[in-house]
Structure 1
Amino acid sequence: MKIKLKQIHRLQRAAGVVLGVLVVLLIADSAFLATAATPEGLVAPMLRLHLVLGASLCAVVAVFVAGHFVIHRRHRNARARKIGLVVAALAGLGCVAGLALWRDGGQARPLVLAHELAFVTAIAAYVLHRVRALATPALKVEWIGAGVALVMLGGIWAAQLWWPTSASEAPSPRAPFVPGLAQTRTVDGHLLGTEDLANPEYCAQCHTEIAARWESSAHRVSSLNDPFYAATLAVSQGHKTPDQIKFCGGCHDPLLLLTGRMDTHPKPEDPDADAGITCLACHAIVEAPGRLGNGSYVIAAPEHYPGYASDDPSERETSNRLIQSKPAKHIASFAPPHLRSSQICAGCHKAHIPPELNDHRWVPGQNDWDAWHDSGAGANSARTFYPPKAKRCQDCHMPRIPGDDPAARDGTVTDHGFPGANTALPFVQGDEQWQARNEAFLDGVVSVDVGAIEVGVPGAEPLRVMAPGASLALPPGAPVTLDLSVRNRRSGHLFPGGISDLREAWLELTLTDEHGEVLAASGWLDPRGKLDPDAHRWNTTLLDAKGEPLTVHEVEDTYVVLTSRRIMLGASDVVRVSFTAPNRAARLSVRVLHRKFPRDYVEFVLGEDAPRMPITPLATTQIAFEPGPTIAAAPGPDAGDRLRALGIAYLLRGDTTLARVAASAAAERLPADPGPQLDLARAALADGALADAEAHVRAADGLAPGHPTAAWLLARIRAASGDHAAALAALEVALAVFPNDRELLVMKGESLFRLERDAEAAAALTAVLAIDPEHLGAHALLTRIYTDSGDQDAAERHQRAWDRHRPRSEDSVVTERARREDPALDRRANLQYVLPLAPVPEGWTRATRPSLEP
């Protein structure tokens, strides 16, 4: 037995020596890893050494603790013995946590904290154990070990500071980047490598949930893996050069563009033609995009951690562990502050068609950025109808959702599924969950209301009923005009947004009798699924040089925009509908419907046998009619909001008479709300009734002193009467709240110019161009100011900008020709047209909601 104890004692002592060496090495190694802020130099090898030393330590700890326990388990110093057990337990916990981290890849932050805290506490407990175990605690060996560890740490840091940059970390030479008509730029002006933008699988190793959402997103299917984009691009490629087609690449094909593979026309079968907008296409953008759009972002090859692209799996694993242990550089590289600003979206969600593409002139394109900027969601404008509720683009299109991810905050991550209005892509991809998310996203975007009804009375003025109830009596055979108010409630820009020439948002009306027989309708689908050409639409119509509508998004052939009927957030549109009162009880059902693509375009892309794209109901209402004399009842006391929305719609339609009637009725029912008074002031201003306008502005200011919209309107009144000093004083009130309101800044520049304060006027107008580089009014007035001051270079610069962006007189020739030749186009271009209900042609059907799995 004594011989056995001697052997155990000898083994325990040897283990103690090895353990001491390992502890000293690990202290130096851990201290270096803890103090190194970035992963360069010796950090990667020291991390690998940490894993080897840690594993060795765990093995030696087991031997040492076992032997030490056998020898000293009956030691008379009970307190030291108990502390020793605590040391052993803490060391064991640290080892278990370390092994778990090794298996986990170092991702679990609680395990990291447990591992670090266990060993730090174990060392402190060990010192206490030694103090309690010795009568005269010298701790000489421990002090020597601490000194050696400190010297080693200094040596490691000296080597780190002098460690040369490896050849693999030096940037490789690239060919110059030629962006063509895209506004995209690289930091050094050279092409990127495929590895700089591809490899979403690398990101998915840690950000699994985020990557899964991205897989079901329009960003993932933005390139030639989108059959709609591929078909439209093929049309453009048929008659445009690769440099011109790069206009599309900055946003749809960043990987192909930035690696030089759009120097020739790409094809769907090409490598990486299905890459889409990869993780790094956004996360490698190094500054917020400019305000020009068309892919106006600056991108750089990302700074990866050592070993990222190594062929050695152990080096790649070390690279991943470095990200977990030294995340600061990773966060700085891939999650800079500008990714959280709305301006990051401006690079691609604002576009224009340059004359170099359409061989004609500059034409505005899809532009959700400026529309958001001027809306209540952008909170940059005094001109909105309702008080602003600031929202970034990300608040709607990247909402926070529950997630267990390294990037999670409070148990949530940003949704990289980018919910939006595109229901066609998920449908053709067969992704029912994605489709359902986008359907849900559209719910409640707009509302529809029966705002007013006019009933013809023989020999007298029509009888008008505003904000009618759920039912109304109509004299059989009487002509009826019904005003529907459609309000944008949640779309933070225009409704519909995006590529609105390929959108179909329309009004469906169905008049049925009590037996369900359809008496008249509008907005139904023909047997092919094509929308009634006379339906009321909210979208954009583009024309080519011959006045023919462009139906497959041939932006390169866009000559002029015929009409763009859309609704700003908080605003309303009015649709006038006419029919003859039925001779029996009837019901009018109204729906606002939306589908991503018109049927003609779907057949162009997918063939005549293509399935019908999903149609989403956005808003519904109905009203019942009974035969009998109409009673002109006054709107109820709770009709104020309905009446105000109707008045706004009339105002934007240009009907100031009805706008005043509706706004006055709204003001009676909303006596504490300044909004109706401001609407009345706008209508009076449109009519040139300055005194009336000022009276309403004063009334609004009495309800809400210092209201910025009232100040803007007062400035307009003062400027219209020639008092520019007073106009400036009013503008300063509004600009104090909305300093980035471009139209207020233009008004300020105009008044300053009238007062011959040219330098101040130029400063205000320059601020406008920082917000909107294409603002015609700002360029025109700056041209005059710099011409008068003798700065010919500046004057010519702004003259060229004005001339580039201004409309052309020949455009009206094309639009008039289109309107003459197509009555449906003529109606769309006429804000005042009345939509007649008519019998439904045989074979036509109402739209149905797509079937979705629960």
Structure 2
Amino acid sequence: MNETRSTRVRRCLLMIFLFSSLGLFAWSSLSIFRTAHAAEDTTAKEQAARKIYADKVRESYTYISAGKSESVYGTGKLSLPGNASIEGADFIEPTAFPTAEYCGHCHQEAFAQWRQALHSNSFRTPFYRTSVNLLIQEKGIAFARHCDSCHNPIAVVSGSLDAHATGDRSFDRDGLTCMTCHSIQQVDSKLGNGSYVMSVPAVMVDERGKRIPGMVPDAEILAHPERHSAAVMQKIYQSPEFCSACHKANLPVMLNDYKWIRAFSAYDEWQGSKYSKQNPLVFYTADYTTCQGCHMKREVITLKDPGSKKGMLASHRWLAGNTAVPYYYGFDEQLKRTTDFLQTGNYLNVDVFGIKAAGSDDLQAPLGSVPFKVDPRQTLETYVVIQSKAIGHSLIPEVRDLYEAWVSFKVTDANGKKVYESGYLRPDGTLDPEAHSFTNRPVNSAGEFVDNHRVWTIHSVAYDNSIQSGRSTLVRYRFRVPDGASWPITVKASVQYRHLRQSYLNNVLGADHPAYPVVEVASRSRVIKAGDNGVAPPVPADNADWMRWNNLGIGYLDQLQYAEAMSAFEHVIQLRPDYKDGYINLGLNYIEWEKYADARAPLERALSLAPHDARALYYMALVERRGHHAEQAIADLEEVVTQYPQARDALRELGISYYQQHRAEEAVATFKKLQEVDPDDLAAHYNLAVLYRRLGMKSEAAKESAQYAMKWIDPGAPTYSLQYLRQHPEISNESVPWHVHSDEAQVMSTGKTGAQ
């Protein structure tokens, strides 16, 4: 076929284009092959170096024996008595972790925030080092893995916490670095004590998504930000379960040579709060909020940071309650931000609720909403209600023996002269021993207060006045206005917070140190006249009257004063007849009072307002079961569990109901579901041990029996607490739920002032 000249030209151009494209494709493929090959080569070298390093560490590494808890913790785990795990189950050299400064080249805002935050100072502070050094001195450095799995992960995963370790420990100064958190791939929210799985650190993945260990040039990261993000970001980082790895802790047998003890669990407290949406038994409801939703709120950046979106970055200050560390290091911005966080979050509501003559049952309340009369010659008793309004965990959370929050109550006359005061700091900086404080007193086997956070010696807790999320407490104050005082008087109640308590500061820093910051978190004042007092307008922070009565009822309920709680909840439904939880609270009070038959009517009223309300159904199930209506109780609990699959109480009661009705397989399945949420539940261990034995599953029964025996409270523990309370009457008074703070002498002259 004859070709025209133009056809031949077009054909030549097409061939040139095809060959050029093939050349470009081949060059591109070769480039990708070379990059991938380089990544594989780097990975192989890193793996070889890791093996050489790990083999050397293993030659002399001391593994802690799991002992009695072997069935739980296993043996030969490098982090015991902590729970940290590493991909590949072997040591990682410290130099494998890119430094925070390296990350700070680009992430300037996150780095600046991190440097002042508690996470970056989690190991080096004297407040932490004092207690962990005591552990090392008494039990050996290997036992510090229990604490440092969270406070210094690089030390744990590198094998540096060993008597034979000689490597460079310069990483200590940085505690939790960017790449310790951003190398975690999984967590186990059921364990705590550093229950994470850490991979070999990588800041990039290759074209196929394979992690590239070690540092890479900033320019390469900036050229492929999506591959950087794939390496350092996991969806789990935005979940509360991620925080649970460290904000949950227990004291295992291998640490204390005693028995398993739950130390703290901010995660479990969150899960039981209104913010998790996993528990139907909360007093109030709120929008779903994670740990990060409170402690990592997005804020406007002031420094360059490519991780920001629209000029906003999730805060890496992790603002909470630690004022001691920023004060010690002079981190003024962190201290100011922490103080603002505590004061502006509307976390607590303080209500000077009512007043009465001492010995009288005539409580005049709620103050401000009703007129009342005061006889100036009488001894007065004032009721203060503290509501945990917007906190997703307890007040105080975690190490309550070190943190200090208390109620300051002060009465002054018209000339500003002090009439009565409780909850003040004494000249030596210690807290008034009779103050109402939201702390606890752990004691050892000798009945002595466990000072310096020597947690491995704890055998009991003499008292614990913390407030759980969404609950309220009632504090009573009795005083007499002396003759000659000028009326009116002003009553002020406030919640004060200090990190840390004075005796611990003295133990760490010596007696001669500056006074550490005290923050007033919330307060309320009332002016009271002699004689007639009228209605006063509320201030913006005041709750509505129905909620004020509701909070009082909750306080009474927790203090086992059921008749008074009933009266308070009846006021709630009078003010809010449409409020279904008012009726549920009344039913709950009757159940706690063991008046099950009386609980039915208010619960039925609640269900008429909200027919499928899970909270009402749960308590109605308890009434039905007590009334021998087992099938109805099971039906109610099944509906609750359908709505709330992780509701611990509902799962427990449903399992018990199945067990009582000889529905063994369903009972076993339900208790196993409960253990998926809470592996420490004693009822689950006990009932499964019985059920497994009846089903002929002897091995499983033995395991559950061992778990129950290990986690069940020591019958002798209350004896240790009693010894302490006998020696400290002021603390003994605090341990009584309905105690009264008074200007009358409460403590005999014993020379004992209690641990402050």
**TM norm structure 2:** 0.87
Corresponding residue for residue 332 of structure 1? 230
Alignment of 1:506-517 (within 5 A): 506-517=406-417
**Aligned partners of 1:786, 1:316: CA distance in 2, in Å?**
50
2:342 matches 1:442: yes
Deviation at 1:180, TM superposition (A): 2.5
SS at match of 2:415: coil
Counterpart selection for 2:638 from 724, 732, 743: 732
Matched, 1:721 2:619: no
Q: Look up the match of 2:552.
A: 646
Number of the residue aligned with 1:452: 354
Summarize the Cα distance change of 1:537–1:735 in structure 2 as closer, same or farther, 3 Å threshold: same
Q: TM-score, normalised to structure 1's length?
A: 0.77
Report the Cα offset of residue 304 of structure 1.
4.2
Tell me which amino acid in the other structure corresponds to 2:651. L
Q: Does 1:359 align with 2:231?
A: no
How do 1:133-212 residues align onto structure 2 when only pairs under 5 Å count? 138=10, 141=13, 144-145=16-17, 147-154=19-26, 156-157=28-29, 160-161=32-33, 164=37, 167-170=41-44, 171-172=47-48, 173=51, 174-175=54-55, 176=58, 178-212=78-112
**Partner of 2:652 in structure 1?**
746
Structure 1 match to 2:508: 605
Matches within 5 A, 1:515-554: 515-554=415-454
Q: Is the Cα–Cα contact under 8 Å of residues 372 and 532 in structure 2 kept in the other structure?
A: no
Specify the code of the residue in structure 2 equivalent to 1:203: C
Matched length:
696
Could you tell me which residue of structure 2 aligns to residue 213 of structure 1? 113
Question: What is the SS of the residue equivalent to 1:493?
Answer: coil
| Counterpart secondary structure, 2:716 | helix
Helix, strand or coil: the match of 1:566?
coil
Deviation at 1:697, TM superposition (A): 0.8
Whether 2:723 is the aligned partner of 1:821: answer no
Contact 1:216/1:417, CA 8 A, preserved across alignment:
yes
* Alpha-carbon RMSD: 2.9
Which range moved further: 317-326 or 536-545? 317-326
TM-superposed CA distance for 1:496, in Å, is 1.5
Deviation string 1:408-461 (CA, Å, 9 cap, x unpaired) is 23432211111111011111111111011111111222111022322147xxx5
Q: Which amino acid aligns with 1:322?
A: E
Alpha-carbon distance between aligned partners in 1 of 2:707 and 2:567, rounded to the nearest angstrom: 42
In the alignment, does 2:224 pair up with 1:321?
A: no
| Inter-partner Cα distance in structure 1 for 2:413 and 2:745 | 13
In 2, the alpha carbon distance for the partners of 1:147 and 1:771 equals 63
C-alpha distance in 1 between matches for 2:19 and 2:290: 55
Give the aligned partner of residue 459 of structure 2: 559
- What amino acid maps onto 2:257 in structure 1? D
Residues 695-844 of structure 1 mapped to structure 2, 5 A cutoff: 695-837=601-743
Residue in 2 that maps onto 1:295: 194
Which amino acid letter does the alignment assign opposite residue 150 of structure 1?
Answer: L
Contact 2:368–2:535 at 8 Å: present in 1 too? no
Overall identity of the aligned pairs, in %: 25
Take 1:316 and 1:797, find their aligned partners in 2: how far apart are those partners?
A: 43
Matched, 1:411 2:342: no
Residue identity opposite 2:502 in structure 1 = R
Distance (Å, rounded) in 1 between the aligned partners of 2:670 and 2:13: 74
Shift of 1:822: 0.9
Contact preservation (8 Å) 2:203, 2:232? no
State the distance in 2 between where 1:136 and 1:453 align. Answer: 107
- Cα distance in 2, alignment partners of residues 352 and 270 from structure 1: 27
Structure 1 residues 588, 786: CA separation in 2 closer, same or farther (over 3 Å shift)?
A: same
Provide the rounded CA distance (Å) in 2 between the counterparts of 1:666 and 1:748. 30
Aligned AA (2:403): R
Tell me how far 1:629 sits from its aligned partner.
6.8
Separation in 2, partners of 1:715, 1:267: 61
Find the aligned partners of 1:325 and 1:386 in 2 and give their Cα distance: 49
Aligned: 1:227 with 2:126:
yes
Give the direction of change, closer, same or farther, for the CA distance of 1:238–1:465 in structure 2 (3 Å limit).
Answer: same
SS at match of 2:308: coil
Shift of 1:700: 1.4
Question: 2:74 maps to what in 1?
Answer: none
Determine helix, strand or coil for the equivalent of 1:735: helix
Structure 2's unaligned 5+ residue stretches are 1-5, 59-76, 207-212, 748-756
Q: Note the C-alpha offset of 1:141.
A: 4.8
2:267 equivalent to 1:369: yes
Amino acid at match of 2:29: W
Aligned position for 2:279:
381
Report the CA distance shift for 1:354/1:723 in structure 2 as closer, same or farther (over 3 A). Answer: same
CA contact (8 A) 2:183 2:200 kept: yes
Distance 2:115 2:474 in 1: 40
Q: Tell me the secondary structure at the aligned position of residue 620 of structure 1.
A: strand
Amino acid at match of 2:287: K
1:539/1:565 contact within 8 Å kept:
yes
What residue number does 1:104 align with?
A: none
Give the Å deviation of 1:152: 3.3
Q: Does structure 2 retain, via aligned residues, the 8 Å contact 1:684–1:692?
A: yes
2:135 pairs with 236, 249, 252, which one? 236
Contact 1:423 1:439 in 2 (8 A): yes
Gap regions ≥5 residues in structure 1: 1-133, 308-314, 842-854
Counterpart of 2:631, as a letter, is: A
Q: Compared with structure 1, are the counterparts of its residues 465 and 298 closer, same or farther at alpha carbon in structure 2 (3 Å cutoff)?
A: same
Q: Which residue of 2 aligns with 1:618?
A: 521
Per-residue CA shift, 1:732-754, capped at 9, x if unaligned?
22222211011110111111111
Q: 1:486 & 1:743 partners in 2: Cα distance?
A: 26
In structure 1, the residue matched to 2:585 is: 679
SS of the residue corresponding to residue 351 of structure 1 reads strand
Larger radius of gyration: 1
State the distance in 2 between where 1:647 and 1:338 align: 39
Partner of 1:282: 181
Q: Deviations over 1:103-134 (max 9, x none)?
A: xxxxxxxxxxxxxxxxxxxxxxxxxxxxxxx9
Q: Partner amino acid for 1:640? A: W
SS in 2 for 1:490: coil
